[in-house]
Amino acid sequence: MTNAARRLALIHTVAGLVPRFRELAAELMPDVETFDIVDETLLRDATTEGRVSLDTARRLVAHLAAAERHGADAILVTCSSMGNVVDAARPFAGVPLLRVDQAMAEQAVERGTRIGVLATLGSTLGPTAALIRRTADEAGREVEVRDRLCEGAFEALKAGETERHDESIREGLRELIGWAEVIVLAQASMARVIDSLTDDERRTPILSSPRLGMERMRDLLVNGR
């Protein structure tokens, strides 16, 4: 199969992230065809319930099956809140299935033993911190994780108040800078803040998932690694 014939399905729970992932796909995998499945109710319900319920998990699994039926050669789920469902579904998938934050967690563990985690949703904070701890265990490393919830930031972003969203994240960063050796932004929607940070705020490495996740997908789908 040639690269031109390969198809990547991206499953999103935030419609606003579609353009960013399309840009990354065009940059990193120009010969791979992509298509998007968007279901914002997945994240809405996880946020309302404070967890990913069985019903929400079933709906995501249905989207995974639909992506395969539509010819996907690989699937990337761009929502960190859905990560545990992706892990559970992977053994049953007929094509490679990745969660967007796996590569980010691995790099965080490689770069430090004191890892800060920022999230704008509680439904993402816990799973991301757990992923980092599990990744460290699998790598035989000991890490300390401190997590912070940026209260009100996600609601501000949904309301179009991007500066309030960004400032809430910067406040969270300031709480962790000086302690953390590396800081993880738990949600793909937070990555936009990095470009607006000052040099002082950048003195601690800050990782976000979109590019790292897409680079991992490229290595798997295009480079066969």
Tens-digit pLDDT profile for residues 82-111: 999 999 999 999 999 999 999 999 999 999
Mean pLDDT of the chain: 92
Q: Report the predicted TM-score, pTM, of the whole model to 2 decimal places.
A: 0.90
Q: What is the mean pLDDT of residues 112-141?
A: 94
Whether 2 shows a pLDDT value over 50: the answer reads no
CA distance 8 to 36: 9
State the CATH class of domain 3-100+211-221.
Answer: alpha beta
- In this predicted structure, what is the pLDDT of residue 172? 92
The string of pLDDT tens digits covering residues 11-22 is 999 999 999 999
The helix/strand count (H/E) of the chain reads as: 9, 8
- Give domain limits for the chain: 3-100+211-221, 102-209
User: Options 3.40.190.10, 3.60.21.10, 1.10.10.10, 3.40.50.1860; which CATH number does 102-209 get?
Assistant: 3.40.50.1860
Given a contact cutoff of 8 angstroms between Cβ atoms, the answer to whether 154 and 128 are in contact is no
